[in-house]
Structure 1
Amino acid sequence: MGALEEWIAEMFLTHSLNLLRFSAGTQDKILALMGAMSKELTAKLNEGEISTYGKQRLGALLRESNALISSHYTGMQAELTRNLTGMVRIEADYTAKVLTQGLKIKLGAKLPPATYLEKLVGDTLIKGASSADWWKRQALDTQFRFASQVRLGAAQGETTSQIVSRVLGKSAKAADLAPSMPATPPMPAWTPSAPAAPAAKGPTPAPDPVAPGEQGILKASSANARALVHSSVQAVANAARLASFQRNAELIECLVWLSTLDSHTCLLCAMRDLHEYSLHDQEPINHNLQQRGRVLDERAQRLAEAEERVAEQARENGIAAIRIADQTAANEAEAQRLRGEAGSLASGAVASTQATGMSKEQLQGALDSKGIKYPAAANKAELQALLGA
């Protein structure tokens, strides 16, 4: 690169630090909303002793919890969209400023229309899907894992406080959930909750059902939300920069890939560093490394095709056919659970009667032989569930 290109790169590297600060601030806002969801779910679980619930009451609890999760994730998506809408305009302005100063444009560089920039926020793809699709997927994933832990705890006769531990993680003790205390510890996954104050000795408490090392499904959801915010900020900022470059196409010969504008550099990005691409269609110039977004879009398409083949195999084998009528009235999380169950059966999982009679070591051996991955700390019930029990 020449002196002018190096100066432009330096300007964007400096600006990327501000972008990372913006990303961290937005993550904090999303985590605050995640904390509110955690408190409401904990309060919902503490309305009664779940181990005494019948099938209908447990189903009603899960439906209400799913609606609560969906509502909060919709709020998280809206909060991120508001932040990105403001950020995308700032990013376009900064890009125009750099071009104006670097190329000494008297009237200033041209900016994309405001309506186009607003549209970028919703249209920019993140690993082959829009931000809205990713938030919906995270909501469904949280609903599915929440329902799984509640069902598993209820089936094993655990107390409500033990089930809450499954949801919040091993560090969340019953004392943290007393009515006089906050309903849940702070949500950032990297901050362990404070230990409960010493109390008078009483009956020995029941063992915590959450295996050592497990952080609880809501802590995992927080980590996923933080990652989605970071990816969204970087993707939308890059789209705004590209739109500004394209508006000034008469001044720009080509694009140069910089892999240092983010706090994380993967191998796919690192191998493209300083490679040139055409401005309008981002085709490689004098090399064969395709623009990364296309690579990820192709992988996403292949994954979707593979999932469809599994679903087709399940339909051909008549798996879960008796539940077709029920699925129309089920919520999306339940439908996802049924699809996962059908996929496990279609892939050759053992019958439930066989899994029930197996020891934990036999279950692990059966999972290994079928290539099914499972957590090292999984208990017997979880291993049976993976085998279709």
Structure 2
Amino acid sequence: MTINKKLRNEAIYHRVNLIGYENNLIRESLKLLDIVDKELTAQLYVALEGMSPSDFKISRLESMLASSKSLKSVTDYLLGELNLLSEHESSYQYSLFESLLPDIVKSKYPLMQIPPSQIFTAVKAKPFQGRLLSEWASNIEDDRLKRVANAVRTGYVTGETTEQIIRRVRGTKKNNYRDGILEASKRNVSSVIRSAVSHTAAIARESFGNANSDIIKGKQWLSTLDTSTTPMCIIRDLKQYTLDNQPIGHDIPYGDGPGKLHFCCRSVETFILKSYRELGINIDEAPSGTRASMDGQVPAKTSYLEWLQAQSKERQEQILGVERARLLRNGEIAPENFFTRDGHVLTLNELKSQELIN
């Protein structure tokens, strides 16, 4: 197996693990958001109880909401995790290449590792989907307060009681509070978290590639091909680009790149290494198993299902769960059911422990 193919396999596996990590961040963030929502609705109840319809003014309500506890706890938690993820991604990219490159290449072209602080600074300074991370947090907060204010105003206009207005805002217990207008904030937070994790991983990958351009000649787009894949990612699957994002052999623009092309983008990319000859190393390519092959070739087209079938039993079980992995190996399950198992979550420590080359 060539090093380029190994890099492609690890890029796909790493993205699978990042999805698990995203799920964990969302779960923990929603716990914090639940606390914030409870406090907001408690304050809202007190304010509405002391306000008669004749006293109601939207400006007074907005002032009260603005002074209530905001989403700062959620934002602080996310920034802290992205800081740690920047450190992990810096180490991951370096360790991956360190483990795969032959000594003859590393001796001539020492690998450069990007400082995590540099990655995290870029994560905060570079926009995704048109806004900085801080701006997305502020936008969610503003949207949340406007939704609450509009719900209260509608309640007053239609003559609802305080309890009815609170239910409109918070939702009902029997529906696990998913029928209130605050539920939209949870969906927004989830989308921003998924995009922020992809944004962080993409910046780390891009920074590493640029710093080691002496051994890397390009990159290849890898889309997750399933029923949820967007057309814009489908048309870019397996397309090649230079390190400065110029198309190679086609005219489809790179856009914001894999993981950042749209909200919740699951695409990744793999680097294309130069061959021994292109690196000025005067040796022939050796058969796989006798020496790591660096032929500079791009791996052939492989679907996600084909990739999954070629992985170790341990990886299959980690992605699908034990029973579905068994069904996969026995050919007893339809391809459309081969997705990351429900509830799959990873902490950062678990993410680190699974990033092993095997």
Q: Which runs of 5+ in 1 are unaligned?
A: 174-191, 195-213, 300-389
Question: Which residue of structure 1 lines up, in the alignment, with residue 215 of structure 2?
Answer: 251
Show CA shifts across 1:125-180 (max 9, x none).
221211111111111111111100001101222111100111123x347xxxxxxx
Residues 46 and 83 from structure 1, CA distance in 2 versus in 1: closer, same or farther, beyond 3 angstroms?
same
Q: Which amino acid aligns with 2:200?
A: V
CA distance in 1, matches of 2:261, 2:9: 32
Q: Which amino acid aligns with 2:97?
A: L
**Partner residue of 2:114 out of 112, 115, 127:** 112
Residues 293 and 118 from structure 1, CA distance in 2 versus in 1: closer, same or farther, beyond 3 angstroms?
same
CA distance in 2, matches of 1:124, 1:262: 29
CA distance in 2, matches of 1:297, 1:230: 10
Report the secondary structure of 2:224's partner residue. coil
CA distance in 1, matches of 2:90, 2:226: 17
Q: State the 1:18 CA deviation.
A: 2.1
Q: State the 1:278 CA deviation.
A: 0.8
Question: Which residue of structure 2 lines up, in the alignment, with residue 34 of structure 1?
Answer: 33
Task: Report whether the alignment pairs 1:266 with 2:266.
Answer: no
Show CA shifts across 1:23-49 (max 9, x none).
111112211221011101211122143
Q: Which amino acid aligns with 1:17?
A: V
CA distance in 1, matches of 2:258, 2:86: 24
1:185-200 equivalent positions in 2, closer than 5 A: 192-193=175-176
CA distance in 2, matches of 1:55, 1:264: 49
Preserved contact between residue 127 and residue 133 of structure 2 (Cα < 8 Å): yes
Show CA shifts across 1:318-359 (max 9, x none).
xxxxxxxxxxxxxxxxxxxxxxxxxxxxxxxxxxxxxxxxxx
CA distance in 2, matches of 1:263, 1:94: 30
CA distance in 2, matches of 1:135, 1:104: 44
Number of corresponding residues: 257
Show CA shifts across 1:58-107 (max 9, x none).
64333121332xx5223322211110111012112111122122222546
Report the secondary structure of 1:126's partner residue. coil
Report the secondary structure of 2:223's partner residue. coil
Report the secondary structure of 2:199's partner residue. helix
Moved over 6 A (4+): 294-299
Q: State the 1:283 CA deviation.
A: 1.1
CA distance in 1, matches of 2:81, 2:181: 26
Task: Report whether the alignment pairs 1:231 with 2:195.
Answer: yes
**Partner residue of 2:100 out of 99, 102, 105:** 102
Q: CA RMSD in A?
A: 2.9
CA distance in 2, matches of 1:226, 1:249: 35
Preserved contact between residue 257 and residue 276 of structure 1 (Cα < 8 Å): yes
CA distance in 1, matches of 2:17, 2:114: 22
1:285-304 equivalent positions in 2, closer than 5 A: 285-293=248-256
Report the secondary structure of 1:128's partner residue. coil
Q: Which amino acid aligns with 1:237?
A: A
Question: Which residue of structure 2 lines up, in the alignment, with residue 144 of structure 1?
Answer: 146
CA distance in 1, matches of 2:225, 2:39: 38
CA distance in 1, matches of 2:227, 2:121: 26
Preserved contact between residue 23 and residue 229 of structure 1 (Cα < 8 Å): yes
CA distance in 2, matches of 1:122, 1:262: 31
Q: State the 1:296 CA deviation.
A: 12
Question: Which residue of structure 1 lines up, in the alignment, with residue 131 of structure 2?
Answer: 129
1:1-389 equivalent positions in 2, closer than 5 A: 3-47=2-46, 48-49=48-49, 52-55=52-55, 59-68=59-68, 71-105=69-103, 106=106, 109-169=111-171, 171-172=172-173, 192-193=175-176, 215-260=179-224, 265-279=229-243, 281-293=244-256
TM-score (norm 1): 0.60
Preserved contact between residue 34 and residue 72 of structure 1 (Cα < 8 Å): no
Residues 296 and 137 from structure 1, CA distance in 2 versus in 1: closer, same or farther, beyond 3 angstroms?
farther
Preserved contact between residue 168 and residue 218 of structure 1 (Cα < 8 Å): yes
Q: Which amino acid aligns with 2:83?
A: T
CA distance in 1, matches of 2:25, 2:225: 18
Preserved contact between residue 140 and residue 188 of structure 2 (Cα < 8 Å): yes
Question: Which residue of structure 2 lines up, in the alignment, with residue 337 of structure 1?
Answer: none
CA distance in 2, matches of 1:83, 1:144: 28
Preserved contact between residue 124 and residue 236 of structure 1 (Cα < 8 Å): no
Report the secondary structure of 2:164's partner residue. helix
Q: What percentage of aligned pairs have identical amino acids?
A: 27
